[in-house]
Amino acid sequence: MGLFTMPSLGADMEAGTLTEWLVGPGDRVRRGDIVAVVETQKGAIEIEIFEEGTVERLEAEIGQTLPVGAPLARIRGAGEATEPEAAPGTEVVAPEPAAPETPEPQPQRPAARGLAASPAARVLAAERGIALATVTGTGPGGAILLADVERAQAVAQEAPDPRAGMRKAIASAMAKSKREIPHYYLAHRIDLQASTDWLSAQNAARPPEDRLLMGALIARAVARAAALVPAVNGHYGEEGFRPAAAVHLGLAVALRGGGLIAPAIRDAHLLKLDAMMAAMRDLVARARSGRLRSSELTEGTITLSSLGETGVEVMAGIIYPPQVALVGFGAPRPKPMVHEGVVTIRQSVTATLAADHRVSDGRIGARFLLEIDRHLQHPEEP
């Protein structure tokens, strides 16, 4: 009888709140099925199961906040017998049914009416973006007054920031990473002109919804380079470093309202450019709407953090354990560069590697950055 437990969804997670069961006792489950939804500091996460069998019993109730490792359900494997409800020879005595209760008459609800509010209260609520339905009125007949709207706004401003817990958890995980992982850093400036020109030509013939972004080219280059340099791609645990057989590329996503999350694109090294672009769009949209899968938060083997078109030129990241490397890209900028023996203005970007010195060194890290550079010089590769 297998025990399905609250998964760890990252180094910064200690507990989660069960918000939805998608299976019940007697349901068949297979590896990869989504069986529950858990609310964490990263949002609502769809929890997958990684064994096959039948749900024997649910051990947790909706609304419970449970630590990592707490039992969620018992799964009966193929060929296993169901758990006995009572020990052999034990007599089960059913309780006598209780006498039916006569339901008390419920007061009839008044018909719905429009919200009564003073003109000044309506104006202020509209200016501050406050829904009148959320305001308790203290005027005659429950009418909403100006003071009621001001009070509602003050209460909202005093409410705790929903992202404060996430920022605290991220800070704790990153502080632990810097204490325990011997980071080393390398930076390399990459000529992006070939990729920029190729993208412009490609997008000229595409409708807006199918156009490619530089971020997809960078993600593909990082994933393919990581596949060639296994010392930057994998996990470091109690038994040391375990290189990964595939590149599951973590993508750092800034959430609206604050906070950061890095879900993974599975088998990113195998994706062609259009598939990479589609995967990135899908992942970012679901991360910001709070509908990620648990595997996307736990299976990343290396992380990419890009500041996009409007960021600063250089960033130095912190490794997200148990991974052993993080690649950061600043914003692309036109810079003087030597091309074919001539100094000219060309689009360029600075890539920075943060890597774990227990696993790799500067020579290996430099090879990785140069592989990224090589891929970006040939954007036409399939």
Rounded mean pLDDT of the chain? 86
More confident residue, 48 or 95: 48
pLDDT confidence of residue 26: 93
Q: pTM of the full predicted structure?
A: 0.74
**Average pLDDT for 51-69:** 92
Whether 83 maps to a domain, the answer reads: no
SS3 state at 15: strand
Bin 126: left if φ > 0, else alpha if -120 < ψ < 50, else beta: alpha
Task: Say whether pLDDT at 102 is over 50.
Answer: no
More confident residue, 256 or 91: 256
261 and 350 in one domain?
yes
Share of the chain residues as helix, strand and coil, in percent rounded to the nearest 5: 30, 25, 40
230 and 339 in one domain?
yes
Whether 87 maps to a domain, the answer reads: no
Task: Say whether pLDDT at 120 is over 60.
Answer: yes
231 and 133 in one domain?
no
Of 76, 101, 130, the domain-final residue:
76
pLDDT confidence of residue 161: 57
* Beta bridge mates, 43: 40
132 and 70 in one domain?
no
Q: What is the CATH number of the domain that holds 146?
A: 4.10.320
pLDDT grade for 107, boundaries at 50, 70 and 90: very low
Task: Say whether pLDDT at 100 is over 80.
Answer: no
**What tokens appear for 353 in the block?**
């590697």
**Average pLDDT for 43-68:** 90
Task: Say whether pLDDT at 160 is over 70.
Answer: no
Task: Say whether pLDDT at 89 is over 50.
Answer: no
Range of the domain at 286: 165-376
Task: Say whether pLDDT at 380 is over 90.
Answer: yes
More confident residue, 155 or 291: 291
136 and 207 in one domain?
no
Closest by CA position to 195, among listed 12, 377, 1, 10: 377
In this structure, of 73-87, 139-153, 212-226, the range with the lowest mean pLDDT score is: 73-87
- Virtual torsion, Cα 7, 13, 14, 16, nearest 10 deg: -60
More confident residue, 291 or 131: 291
Count of residues making up the chain: 382
212 and 128 in one domain?
no
Give the rounded percent of residues in the chain with a pLDDT score beyond 90.
Answer: 57
pLDDT grade for 281, boundaries at 50, 70 and 90: very high
pLDDT confidence of residue 164: 65
**Average pLDDT for 13-41:** 89
pLDDT confidence of residue 80: 81
pLDDT confidence of residue 137: 87
Bin 243: left if φ > 0, else alpha if -120 < ψ < 50, else beta: beta
128 and 14 in one domain?
no
pLDDT grade for 97, boundaries at 50, 70 and 90: very low
Task: Say whether pLDDT at 272 is over 90.
Answer: yes
In this structure, of 15-19, 183-187, 234-238, 278-282, the range with the lowest mean pLDDT score is: 15-19
pLDDT confidence of residue 111: 36
pLDDT confidence of residue 269: 98
252 and 349 in one domain?
yes
253 and 226 in one domain?
yes
pLDDT confidence of residue 93: 42
pLDDT grade for 106, boundaries at 50, 70 and 90: very low
Of 41, 76, 111, the domain-final residue:
76
**What tokens appear for 100 in the block?**
């039916």
Whether 372 maps to a domain, the answer reads: yes
Query: 327-360 pLDDT, tens per residue?
Result: 999 999 999 999 999 999 999 999 999 999 999 9
* Tally of CB atoms within 10 A around 331: 16
Task: Say whether pLDDT at 134 is over 80.
Answer: no
SS3 state at 43: strand
Whether 84 maps to a domain, the answer reads: no
Whether 105 maps to a domain, the answer reads: no
Whether 204 maps to a domain, the answer reads: yes
pLDDT confidence of residue 44: 80
130 and 19 in one domain?
no
Closest by CA position to 233, among listed 323, 129, 362, 141: 323
301 and 240 in one domain?
yes
Of 76, 94, 110, the domain-final residue:
76
How far, in Å, CA of 204 to CA of 217, rounded? 17
Q: What are phi and psi of 271, to 5 degrees?
A: -80, 135
pLDDT confidence of residue 249: 98
| Own/partner long-range contacts of 224-231 (Cβ < 8 Å, ≥24 apart) | 224/269, 224/371, 224/375, 225/368, 225/369, 225/371, 225/372, 225/374, 225/375, 226/269, 226/301, 226/302, 226/325, 226/368, 227/269, 228/371, 229/364, 229/367, 229/368, 229/371, 231/324, 231/359, 231/360, 231/364
Q: What is the CATH number of the domain that holds 22?
A: 2.40.50.100
The structural domain count of the chain equals: 3
pLDDT grade for 101, boundaries at 50, 70 and 90: very low
Whether 381 maps to a domain, the answer reads: no
Q: Is the dihedral of CA 239, 243, 246, 247 positive or negative?
A: positive
Whether 36 maps to a domain, the answer reads: yes
CA angle, residues 71, 75, 79, in degrees to nearest 5: 150
Burial of 166 (0-12, 13-18, 19+ CB in 10 A): buried
Task: Say whether pLDDT at 42 is over 70.
Answer: yes
In this structure, of 48-62, 95-109, 262-276, 309-323, the range with the lowest mean pLDDT score is: 95-109
171 and 151 in one domain?
no
Q: What is the CATH number of the domain that holds 182?
A: 3.30.559.10
Contact status, residue 83 vs residue 57, Cβ threshold 8 Å: yes
pLDDT confidence of residue 347: 96
